[in-house]
Every structure is written in structure tokens, then in C-alpha cells.
Amino acid sequence: MLFPVIMAGGSGSRLWPLSRQLHPKQFLPLADEQLSMLQATLKRLDGLETAAPSLICNEQHRFLAAEQLRQLGVQQANILLEPVGRNTAPAIALAALQACQQEEDPVLLVLAADHVIQDVAAFHASIAAALPLAQAGKLVTFGIVPTQPETGYGYIRRGQPLEVAGEPQGGYGVAQFVEKPDSATAQQYLASGDYYWNSGMFLFRARRYLEELEAFQPGMLAACRQAMAGAQRDLDFIRVEAAAFAQCPDISVDYAVMEKTSDAAMVPLNAGWNDVGSWSALWEVQSKNDQGNALHGDVLTEFTHNTFVHAESRLVTTVGVDDLVIVETKDAVLVAHKDKVQEVKQIVGQLKDQGRSEHINHREVYRPWGKYDAIENGERYQVKCITVKPGARLSVQMHHHRAEHWIVVSGTARVTIGDSTRLVTENQSVYIPLGEVHALENPGKIPLELIEVQSGAYLGEDDIVRFDDRYGRK
């Protein structure tokens, strides 16, 4: 039985403005209209004999992750929360330690939550080929059969064929890990047939990985053991001890273990893999029309070729353009040449430097109880459309600087204001004075939708004093 470990950290800044700090690309339906990239990664496990997955994610994304697992019907998953980002080597160590609490020495299948794999059968076949090597103590990585001289990936140089008990397994030793090459070197790699893209996916026994960490990164392993020893359960989550985990170095599994171990192995994977690291990469895996355009949403084009257009909230039209990426959201528009999409992160940097919020949140913000859309705002007012899931409840709270009006559009609200609680139904409204303790709950079976009008001198989200919160938020 395999123990899947899904690494779901990262911010995906090159896919701004869809991917944002609090709602990054792994939680978005980018390559699939129905499933987020995380959900597609989990669905890809169907047909394999696996235990409940372990998901490693940022503290800020915990409710997004839990909701997307719930939507898939995934039960008993371990959601490990990283208090700070420390790259892949410590994250996998946490998962290995957690898995060893469930089984003596499980085989870990380590996957990224934001990859596209188009041929699931070929993916499963490569896992089957890698399993005997992993069971024999090898630390297996999957080498992507290259289709072009790509300069954006690291490479693995293939070593000698490997056998287990005298039988060939279709895997190879690793002769060398190499950094991202320049164009001429990438051409040479492709022509030689000895080089594969480094996928960042692995298969190995948990205790073998921990043994190699003990040899090459003993301080990291000690910090991870201490962090897990102090871990606490919180709702669906496992919170590791923050101070201990912060002592880990920020280092990838490649640098920490794979480039140092004498037991590294590589199994080829030819399954339509793409790490969707940029808008041009996403365009490559999308279905396209006869003009080479990948179009999403309300889009009209004329004399447009090889262009990616994503329209979220309005009509987008193009005339006489080629090789562009155009992405429209409710609060931002990106227009970039496909050759320059790696530089989108520079725009994100400008947003950070200017103290803006467009790199952090979308206009539509998800919460554990539902979501809100900040429709309009002015100097002393703000209007939101709030959606509360059936059975969910916002925290018992108050505000020092704003009053609120709630108008129910659909569903039924149970509203508490001070010592009074009552039901508010469609087309009814309530007023919450400044400084009044209040709460909102959806007691019904359908989503509750209401319009909230805030007015006051300060309307920031940090003007919330919580007295009781079922989701453990401070």
C-alpha cells in the first residue's frame, strides 16, 4: 500500500492574477474546468492501492484544503500545517514521521499538488515500475521524458539500468542532477537521450528517507522530530510545534538528500507531464481552436492566433494580436507576451512594494464558513455579497469602527445581536450598531446569500474582535 504525500505549499506568483497568496494555483481549476489542481492530483490516485493521503500546506490555506478534500469525499486525510515555509525536504520529513506512526515503514509516494499529468495509465505504470526499487531501499525520482530543449527545468542524467533480485525493473541509477541549462546545453541534452526533466516526484520507504536525512541533515531531522513530538490536533489539521520547525533550514529534497545519496534511482515517466509554472505552460496543455487560441469565459476574437485569453467577469475581445496572454479577473487585468510570462512575478513584486493587496486576495475571498465578494467600497462605506454554507456560522464578534446592515437575498439567517436572536428571511434586513456583539448563522439546507453594507471611519478586516469561533481563528 502506498502512502500519498501531497505537497501543496507555494504561492504560484507567475500565474497572477488568478493565483494569489491566499488562493494559489494548486487550489484553482486551471487545467480542468471542474477540479482544482489539488483535486486532480488526488483523483489521479484512483486505481492505486493507497492509504489516506497526507497533505502538507500553509497555515493560511488550511480551510481551502479541507474544503476541497471534502468536496472529493476524501476521508481521514492528514492535513499537516507548516507554520513557516521551509521547502520540500523538511515537509517530506514531517509526512514520513507521521506515516511511521501509522505503519512500521510505509512507502511514500510524494507528489506536487500543482502538476498536470495527462496520461494517468502511463503514470500508474511508472509507479508500478518504481515500487520494487523503492521496496529494495532505493530513493526513486521520476524523470520526465523531454519533448523539447527546455531551459526552465533541472535535469537528471541517466545512469546504469537497475535490477532487483536479478530482474530488470525499467529504472536506472542517477549519474547526475544538473541545474537549469542554457538553450545550447538543453539542445545537447535532448539530442543525447540520456537526460530527463526533474519532476520533483518521488517514491521511497519512509525510514530510508529518514535514515538519509540522519546522515546528511541531522539537525533538520532533529528539528522535525521535535516539531512532530509537539504536534497538536486542531479540527481536521495537525499543527506541528512552530518554534521547533522554524529551526529547519530552507532546503529542497534534491539538495538535502537526492544529490548526496548513493541510492538515488530514476524511473522514466512519459505521461504528458507539465508543472504549469507559467501562463505559456498552461496554454500548452489547454485545448485550442483552429487559430491556436485557448479561450475561457466570454471571449470574442478576430485575427488572433496562439493566444491565451481567460475572462472571469466580463466580455474580453481581441483583434489582430498573436502570442499573447490576457487574463481578466474582477479586480485586475494582465496582458503579456508569451515569451515574457516568467516576468509576471516582477509585477507581483511591484504590488508588494507599493503595499497593495491585489497579490494577496481576490475580490472574492473564501472563508471556512463560505465566501464574500467585495462588490464596492468608498472612503466610509463598503458593500459585500456574503455567502454562508448550510450549517455554517460566522464568529461571535464586534467592531470598534463600523456599523453593518444585512439584507437577505436568499436562504434564511439566524442573527444574534446582543442578547436577541431571530430568523431573518428573504427581503428582510437587520442593522448592527457599532460596538454591538453579533453573530450570523445559516440554519437552513441551502446557501444563505446576503448583502452587507458597512459604514464607518475604518473598514479593515482587522477590526474584528472575536469572542467565539468554531473554526479556531483568533
Per-residue model confidence as pLDDT tens digits over 271-286? 999 999 999 999 999 9
Model confidence over 389-440: pLDDT tens digits? 999 999 999 999 999 999 999 999 999 999 999 999 999 999 999 999 999 9
Strand order in the sheet with 438-441: 420-424, 413-417, 438-441, 396-398, 465-468
User: Which is nearest to 70 in space by CA: 287, 358, 391?
Assistant: 391
Q: Is the pLDDT of residue 168 over 80?
A: no
d(CA 182, CA 53): 37
- Give 103-156 as a 3 state SS string: CCCCEEEEEECCCEECCHHHHHHHHHHHHHHHHCCCEEEEEECCCCCCCCCCEE
Asked if 241 contacts 248 with a C-beta cutoff of 8 angstroms, the reply is no
- pLDDT classification of 236: cutoffs 50, 70, 90: confident
- H helices, E strands: number in the chain: 11, 30
What predicted TM-score, i.e. pTM, was given to this entire model?
0.92
Q: What is the pLDDT at residue 4?
A: 98
Residues 434 and 398 grouped into a single domain: yes
Residue 354 lies in a domain: no
Residues 260 and 378 grouped into a single domain: no
Residues 219 and 301 grouped into a single domain: no
**What rounded mean pLDDT belongs to the chain?**
95
Provide the residue type at 435 as one letter: G
Residues 301 and 398 grouped into a single domain: no
Residues 91 and 180 grouped into a single domain: yes
Residues 106 and 160 grouped into a single domain: yes
- The end-to-end CA distance of the chain, in Å, is 39
Q: Considering Cα of 18, then 23, then 25, then 30, what sign does the dihedral take?
A: negative
Residues 17 and 70 grouped into a single domain: yes
Query: Which residues are within 8 A (CB) of 348 and not within 5 positions of it... i.e. 6 or more apart?
Result: 13, 16, 359
Residue 455 lies in a domain: yes
Single residue among 220, 245, 274 that ends a domain in this structure: 274
Q: Considering Cα of 57, then 62, then 65, then 69, what sign does the dihedral take?
A: positive
How many domains in the chain? 3
Asked if 405 contacts 431 with a C-beta cutoff of 8 angstroms, the reply is yes
Strands 448-456 and 402-410 come out as antiparallel
d(CA 119, CA 303): 33
Q: Is the pLDDT of residue 327 over 80?
A: yes
Residues 74 and 108 grouped into a single domain: yes
One DSSP character per residue, 320-347 reads S-BSEEEEE-SS-EEEEEGGGGGGHHHH
Q: Domain residues for 26? A: 2-274
Three-state secondary-structure class, residue 162: strand
